[in-house]
Chain A
C-alpha cells in the first residue's frame, strides 16, 4: 500500500492566491516528484528532486526535498485558472526499489 500522506485533499482558492501542499512519508525517500493531472489525461511531471534540502523552481512552481528525506512540499505562486487539476507527489526509495504516489490534492481556482 501507499506510504505517502498528501495534504490537503482539496483546495478552493481565488485567482492570484498562493498555494501550498505537502507530502509526508513514514520512511526515507531518495527521489521526490511532483505531477499535475488534468481530467482525462495522464499525470505530467512538474518538478523532480534528488537531494535532501534541494529547492527547485519551475516557473511559478517551487518544490523542496525535506531535510529529513521524509517530506516534500510544492508551492504555486499567483495561481491562475489553468492551475486547476490534481497534483500528486511521488517518492522513490532505493531500499524497496519502488515508487509510491500520494492520494492527490485537487486544486480549484476561482477567477
Chain B
C-alpha cells in the first residue's frame, strides 16, 4: 500500500528556531507539493516540484521558508527562523503527471503539526 510519509508528525519549537519537515513521496511519483493548513486560511499551496525541479513557490514566504528535493525520494521544507504565525499543519502530497498533461491527482501524507511558541 503505497503512501506518502512525513516526519515528524508533531513538532513543538520556540520562536527563532529552525524547523525541518521531511516528506517521502510515493515511489515513482514525479510531482511533490507542500501545503499549509490552518483554520483561518484552509489549505494553501506553498510550493511544488516536478522531476525534483521547483516549478512554483509563489505561495511561500521567501525570507524564511525554503523547499528542496535532494533526491527523488526526499522533499524537505525548512523554516528559519520560525515564528508563532507559522503554527499550522504542513502537508506533503505527491502525484504522477504524464508528459504533456497538467497536474491532476494528488495523494497526501498525514501531515506535520507544527507549533511555534
Contact = CB atoms under 8 A, between A and B. Distances in A.
Partners in one complex: yes
Interface of A: 2, 30-31, 33, 35, 40-45, 48, 50, 88, 90, 92, 94, 97-99, 101-104
Nearest to B48: A99
B43 A48 contact: no
B106 to A, nearest CB: 7
A92 B103 CA distance: 7
A3 to B, nearest CB: 12
Contacts of B93: 42
Contacts of A104: 42
Contact of B103 (A43, A44, A97, A101): A97
Contacts, number: 53
A41 B4 CA distance: 12
Given A88-B43, A92-B103, A92-B104, A99 B33 contact: yes
7 contacts: A35-B108, A41-B111, A42-B108, A43-B91, A45-B106, A92-B103, A104-B42
B109 A31 contact: no
Interface residues of B, number: 19
A32 B45 CA distance: 16
B109 A99 contact: no
B102 A30 contact: yes
Given A41-B111, A42-B91, A98 B45 contact: yes
Contacts of B18: none
A102 B111 CA distance: 19
B45 A99 contact: yes
B54 interface: no
B104 A31 contact: yes
Contact of B42 (A44, A92, A103): A103
B45 A43 contact: no
B64 to A, nearest CB: 21
Given A48-B104, A50-B104, 5 more contacts: A92-B103, A94-B102, A97-B56, A103-B42, A104-B42
